[in-house]
Structure 1
Amino acid sequence: MARRILIVDDDREIAGLIEIYLKNEGFETAKAHDGEQALARLAEEPFDLVVLDIMMPKLDGLEACRRIRETRELPILMVSAKAEDMDKILGLMTGADDYLIKPFNPLELLARVKSLLRRSYQYNKGVADDADEAVIEVGPLRIDRRSHLVEADGKPIRLTSTEFGILALLAASPGRVFSAEEIFQQVWKEKYFESNNTVMVHISKLRDKLEQEAGDKLIVTVWGVGYKIDG
């Protein structure tokens, strides 16, 4: 069954081009041209991923992303002509899983979309047949890799697919320190670039959620080396 992708961009030409690229790869698509339209489409129809522009009328992409994250964990690929690091960090902090700078190569867009979809749904497809292997317990957390669910003392914690991937990776090897490069390569399945601060931003968001729900950040920074979870 084809994955359904919502394209949100007020530039109808760009939205149309993105639609052509995605349809050529077998995806089903729908379009919205501002944040309000995007939220309305998401309320009415199921989608597997959102390609979301930032600069739009009525409701910009950042606010739309925040509102989507209030109820949904589906992958969000944010696209923008803003190329500064702080713009990227702001986009990721609002809940986007990845950030692509305009103008972009169509092949890069497709690679990012496929990577996000793989990451999002790999935990729902036969991660482990043995329940003992599929469930990780560390501190107050119970992480079920088959159902993509995380609980702290029985209370569910809502994570994006990227946050879940990072948490599952660290929790599966308690005490082991993972560098940002290792985390990026294992979770994103892409080559890591030294100036990439994506992992740092997602770790920060994940820590905030764990602290809020579990009363503890759990993830420890080993300065100059990487991150770990102590068993």
Structure 2
Amino acid sequence: MENNLVLIVEDEPAIARILEAYLLRDGYRTVQAADGETAIDHHALLKPDIVLLDARIPKLDGFGVLARLRQTSSTPVIMVTALADDLDRLSGLHLGADDYIVKPFNPQEVVARVKAVLRRTMGERNDSVRRFRDIEVDFGSYTVVVNKDGKRIPLSLTLSEFRILAHMIRHPTQAFGRAEILDACLPDSDALVRTVDTHISNLRRKLEELGQTGFFTAVRGIGYRFSDPQ
């Protein structure tokens, strides 16, 4: 993981310097942005391997930055927040963030989270393409395509939704518990188990809109499976 570039988006210089010092000590390269617009520009120009993104920053807040990044990029993002309402938003939707950290934090914990997220996401990038019926998942490009009526139709997913789909399609008839899905797809975070239901519901709806029915079925007393055995 040495030499991975970390974009630190933080408007408090003292906090940014501390994060930079700990990351540099562990062999990472760093670049800083003190506002959301600069963060967008740095991301487009420098292509960082991961983003540490404070929720409350000037010009464009962290949620706005995350939404913009997710329109075109699957770069891992760890959100940093100090406010309860931000935590509620992240817990309920996750908005495509890979993880989040609550202030005040231990800088060593931040470095550990960065390592964990990079280890997980880089492993996913090394996977190949998997197809199940009319659904095709490219683990390297973080894209999903549905083959319908001779056309390849992209399926628009948040990063959290993609992770759940990618995890479950590897073992399509296996029943997964909610906690197991959360641990496998959103580890090292404080997300609530019930958020899995929201992600699954959204995935099922998006697939059904493209004529793909019968996926993400509930398994009583356990959780969900991607597809029932035929």
Same fold (TM over 0.5): yes
Out of 137, 143, 146, the residue aligned to residue 143 of structure 1 is 137
1:143-179 CA-partner distances (Å, limit 9, x unpaired): 2446654321133446566544322221122222211
Question: How far has the Cα of 1:107 moved from its partner?
Answer: 2.6
- Secondary structure, counterpart of 1:78 in structure 2: strand
Are residues 18 and 214 of structure 1, via their aligned partners in 2, closer, same or farther at CA, if it must alter by over 3 Å?
farther
Aligned sequence identity (%)? 37
**1:152 counterpart = 2:152:** no
Q: CA deviation at 1:24?
A: 1.1
Measure, in 1, the Cα distance between the counterparts of 2:94 and 2:190: 17
SS at 1:178's partner residue? strand
1:170-206 superposed Cα distances (whole Å, 9 cap, x missing partner): 112222221122223333555x879555545554565
- Matching residue of 1:89: 91
User: Where do 1:128-207 residues align within 5 Å?
Assistant: 134-145=128-139, 148-153=142-147, 154-157=152-155, 162-188=160-186, 190=188, 195-197=192-194, 199-200=196-197, 202-203=199-200, 206-207=203-204
Change (3 A) 1:51 1:216: farther
Whole-Å separation in 2 of the counterparts to 1:92 and 1:100: 12
Contact 2:50/2:118 (8 A) holds in 1: yes
Unaligned stretches of 5+ residues in structure 2? none
Task: Tell me how far apart the structure 2 counterparts of residues 157 and 42 of structure 1 sit (CA, whole Å).
Answer: 24
Distance (Å, rounded) in 1 between the aligned partners of 2:193 and 2:108 = 20
The farther-off stretch of 217-226 and 58-67 is 217-226
Under a length normalisation based on structure 1, what TM-score does the superposition of the two structures give? 0.81
Unmatched runs of 5 consecutive residues or more in structure 1: 128-133
Indicate conservation of the 8 Å contact 2:182/2:193, yes or no.
Answer: no
> Is the CA contact 1:218–1:230 (under 8 Å) kept in the aligned structure 2?
yes
Work out the CA distance in 1 between the residues paired with 2:216 and 2:125.
24
Contact 1:152 1:214 in 2 (8 A): no
Number of the residue aligned with 1:14: 15
Question: What is the deviation of 1:89?
Answer: 2.5
Counterpart in the other structure of 2:52: 51
Cα gap change, 1:63 to 1:91, in 2 (>3 Å): farther
For 1:62-141, list aligned pairs within 5 A.
62-83=63-84, 85-89=87-91, 92-93=94-95, 95-125=96-126, 127=127, 134-141=128-135
Farther-moved stretch of structure 1 (27-36 vs 176-185):
176-185
The Cα offsets for residues 111-161 of structure 1, whole Å up to 9 and x where unpaired, read as 211111112110233x4xxxxxx5432242122446654321133446566
| 3-state SS in 1 of match to 2:217 | strand
Runs of 4+ in 1 over 6 A off after TM superposition: none
The answer as to whether partners of 2:97 and 2:159 remain within 8 angstroms in 1 is: no
Distance 2:201 2:164 in 1: 11
> 2-side partners of 1:214 and 1:36: how far apart?
39
How far, CA to CA, are the matches of 1:41 and 1:66 in structure 2?
16
SS in structure 1 of the partner of residue 58 of structure 2? coil
| More off after superposition, 157-166 vs 15-24 | 157-166
Q: What CA distance in whole angstroms lies between the structure 2 residues aligned with 1:112 and 1:208? A: 32
> Cα 1:217–1:41, aligned 2, differ >3 Å: closer, same or farther?
farther
SS in 2 for 1:109: helix
